Chains A and B, each alone.
Chain A
Amino acid sequence: MVFYIFRRFVNYFFLSLIATCLAYVVSSLALDPAAKYYGRNPQPTQQTIDNILNGLGVNPDVPVLQRLWDWLVNIVVHGSLGNGVNGVSIGDQIISRAGVSLRLLLIGSLIGAIVGVTLGVWGAVRQYKLSDQAVTYGSYLIFATPTFVIGVLLMIGATALNGAAGMQLITFTGEYSAGLTGSWWDLALDRGIHLLLPTIALVLIGAAGYSRYQRSVMLDVLSADFIRTARAKGRSRNSALVRHGVRVALIPMSTFFAYSFGTLISGSIMLEIVFSFHGMGEFALNAISQSDINAVAGTTLFVAILILFSSTLSEVLYAALDPRVRN
């Protein structure tokens, strides 16, 4: 089993590596970091501009594959992702922002997966009952709503709630209240409240997708012979459903987790921007608007590593659930 997972990991590793390299090449071709220096008044000399661009390793006169190679060597040898156009190390910026993004993404996707799987199993068992219909149409409604709209609608709702309560029950702009002092607990609580709305939004998105997929897999499993056999040999309905049904239905889900994680990453990035978190979303937005090639490359590397880990994790889950791949 370890060999199997290792083989999959190597496969994903090379895929992510090549995807990151491609993203580097594409962003180098799409972005023009020199343009903003030409637009300055007084315009810097060509020599100055070249020096700045060479220092960042983004001079468009150097062949793009050469720059890609330098970028990779720099990562391997110095562990550095280069500097941004503001002169600050990309690695440091990402490290200071990654926590914000990961907290939202991990908490949101974990709760979303649990809620989604539960709702999916529940919907399959109670097929066509009112609760199943409600969950089904609810998830279609969420599919039909862009992520940022969910975020803004939650904000409007929270404002109405605050107004009705006559006090600031839910605060939602930014990641924490600026200038708040107090004990460790107060600060953690404050961050928790700020995290509430974006997490709800992410859970809704995740749960909508997972519940649909889990429901359809679970329905296939429910009509399988081995469930009838389990019932016939005297297992109770619930035990047959959980021990034989849910476990089997989770096997294809583990692959689906890996596929859908990308959607959750982009959803989480959008929500960060909507709720003005200083996370990777804002970083990527700034990077594109400032034509910062190193920052864009760093962002894609960050995303690729997340995908690499989630894919490997889903393989581990697959192997743990499905005895066939273990030997």
Chain B
Amino acid sequence: MSLVEETNAELGAPDVLVTPTPLGVGVPSGPPARSRSRGRLIWRRLTQTSRFWVGAIAIGLILIWALLGPLFYPFDALTRDPLNMGLGPTQLHWFGTNSIGQDLYAQTLVGLQKSLVIGLIAGPLGTLIAAVVGSVAGYMGGVVDRVLVWCINLLLVLPSFILLVILSPLFKGLSWVFLTIFIAGFSWMIMAQVVRSQTKSLRDRDFVKAARYMGVPMRKILGRHIIPNVASLLIIDATLGVVAAILAETSLSYFGFGIRAPDVSLGTLLAEGTSAAVTRPWLFVFPAGVLIVTLFAVSLIGDALRDAVDPTSGVNRD
């Protein structure tokens, strides 16, 4: 056999290849093998990886810290300490103070809370949109499919960060909830493509056909048969979506398009810290460090999940 034919057989139609996801999620190639113990199997594989535990424990501690930390600390985010202005980390002010004497540790905790809330809402919300759009497009096919795919491609033309910047005047005066919704509204496209291609292969399988011929309405088929079969992919996407949403929020806020005063997020803190990043590095390094550790922990969980769901991806069988 020539190389050409071999690659043909190996890689399948080019259409199948066009499903790159942010971290190169390995999409299970065959039809997902469902059995009663599949969930338990994934869970067992997951709990055997050390990455998962490192990430899960770290993110658990960070969540507890963000929630309870302010209770065990004498300063709040806004009170000024005129005796200790622009100081580095001390026993009194753990992360130091800014130029007007506000405590950075307290500010970081408040910012962390806001960033976490935005990420934890926007990430899964984006996945929800992807699941709905992707499964409807893949299941219905025909005109609906073409229109939805066309919309997805259209939204993918311009980088979502630039679209969010253009839209930022719209949510300027509104609360952070709208920012969250906008971030979710521009982060579902690639996952929707993945769900769509999986749905297309699922809809011709016998159990879906049987349900269709029995007259089960589409909404129920999608909810009972299609979505559960792509659930593992959706869980991974929601996890990594949290990272993407927090990155989007901090970047937008940093450049003045996201969270605005009086609200505080890690992005606005970093924006304030940048001008002094060289002379008073703690104003930048502490919020940045907290942000990086948080996102790193979540990505570790996402990566461990992916390996647990699809152990064949990345196994060298040679």
Report how far A111 CA is from B102 CA in the complex, Å. Answer: 43
Q: List 21 A-B contacts (CB under 8 A).
A: A19-B158, A143-B299, A144-B295, A146-B291, A149-B270, A152-B284, A155-B277, A155-B278, A156-B277, A212-B23, A213-B23, A213-B24, A222-B318, A226-B6, A244-B3, A251-B7, A255-B20, A263-B159, A273-B255, A291-B169, A296-B166
Known: A15-B157, A23-B158, A269-B162. A30 touches B3 (CB 8 A): no
What string of 1s and 0s marks CB contacts (under 8 Å) between A264-277 and chain B? 01100110011000
- Asked if B216 is at the interface of the complex by the 8 Å CB criterion, the answer is no
Whether B159 and A262, one on each chain, are in contact in the complex, defined by CB atoms closer than 8 angstroms, is: yes
Whether B251 and A148, one on each chain, are in contact in the complex, defined by CB atoms closer than 8 angstroms, is: yes
Partner pick for A262 among B18, B24, B158, CB 8 A cutoff: B158
Which residues does chain A contribute within 8 Å of B14, judged by CB atoms? Answer: 318, 322, 324-325
Report how far A32 CA is from B318 CA in the complex, Å. Answer: 62
Q: Is the interface of A mostly helix, strand, loop or mixed?
A: helix
Central interface residue in B4, B20, B256, B257, by most chain A CB within 10 Å = B20
Which residues does chain A contribute within 8 Å of B274, judged by CB atoms? Answer: 148, 152, 274
- Asked if A320 is at the interface of the complex by the 8 Å CB criterion, the answer is no
Partner pick for A22 among B20, B154, B159, B277, CB 8 A cutoff: B154
Report how far A278 CA is from B299 CA in the complex, Å. Answer: 34
Report how far A202 CA is from B25 CA in the complex, Å. Answer: 23
Stretch in B34-42, B72-80, B88-96, B309-317 with 4+ CB within 8 Å of A: B309-317
- Asked if A228 is at the interface of the complex by the 8 Å CB criterion, the answer is yes
**A260: nearest chain-B partner, CB-CB:** B20
Report how far A23 CA is from B26 CA in the complex, Å. Answer: 33
A68 to chain B, nearest CB (A): 15
Partner pick for A324 among B4, B26, B161, B298, CB 8 A cutoff: B4
Partner pick for B6 among A225, A291, A300, A307, CB 8 A cutoff: A225
A280 to chain B, nearest CB (A): 10
Having A30-B166, A224-B10, one finds 18 other A-B pairs with CB under 8 Å, namely: A15-B157, A19-B154, A23-B163, A30-B169, A143-B295, A148-B274, A216-B313, A219-B313, A223-B316, A224-B6, A225-B10, A248-B7, A259-B156, A266-B161, A270-B255, A273-B255, A284-B165, A325-B14
Whether A215 and B24, one on each chain, are in contact in the complex, defined by CB atoms closer than 8 angstroms, is: yes
- Asked if A26 is at the interface of the complex by the 8 Å CB criterion, the answer is yes
Partner pick for A146 among B156, B162, B247, B256, CB 8 A cutoff: B247
Partner pick for B168 among A19, A155, A288, A318, CB 8 A cutoff: A288
Q: How many residues of B contact A (CB 8 A)?
A: 65
Whether B314 and A216, one on each chain, are in contact in the complex, defined by CB atoms closer than 8 angstroms, is: yes
- Asked if A27 is at the interface of the complex by the 8 Å CB criterion, the answer is yes
**A120: nearest chain-B partner, CB-CB:** B24
A164 to chain B, nearest CB (A): 14
Whether B6 and A256, one on each chain, are in contact in the complex, defined by CB atoms closer than 8 angstroms, is: no
A9 to chain B, nearest CB (A): 14
What string of 1s and 0s marks CB contacts (under 8 Å) between A285-321 and chain B? 1001101000010011001100100000000001000
Report how far A288 CA is from B314 CA in the complex, Å. Answer: 44
Q: Is the interface of B mostly helix, strand, loop or mixed?
A: helix
Interface residues of A in 184-242 (CB under 8 A from B): 209, 212-213, 215-217, 219-229
Interface residues of B in 135-177 (CB under 8 A from A): 153-154, 156-163, 165-170
A263 to chain B, nearest CB (A): 7
What string of 1s and 0s marks CB contacts (under 8 Å) between B230-257 and chain A? 0000000000000100010011001111
Q: How many residues of A contact B (CB 8 A)?
A: 78
Whether B158 and A303, one on each chain, are in contact in the complex, defined by CB atoms closer than 8 angstroms, is: yes
- Asked if A118 is at the interface of the complex by the 8 Å CB criterion, the answer is no
Central interface residue in B1, B26, B278, B291, by most chain A CB within 10 Å = B278
Report how far A29 CA is from B167 CA in the complex, Å. Answer: 9
- Asked if B60 is at the interface of the complex by the 8 Å CB criterion, the answer is no
Whether A229 and B315, one on each chain, are in contact in the complex, defined by CB atoms closer than 8 angstroms, is: no
**A149: nearest chain-B partner, CB-CB:** B288
Whether A19 and B247, one on each chain, are in contact in the complex, defined by CB atoms closer than 8 angstroms, is: no
- Asked if A147 is at the interface of the complex by the 8 Å CB criterion, the answer is yes
Interface residues of A in 113-132 (CB under 8 A from B): 124, 127
- Asked if B11 is at the interface of the complex by the 8 Å CB criterion, the answer is yes
B113 to chain A, nearest CB (A): 18
Which residues does chain A contribute within 8 Å of B166, judged by CB atoms? Answer: 23, 26-27, 30, 288, 296, 300
A261 to chain B, nearest CB (A): 9
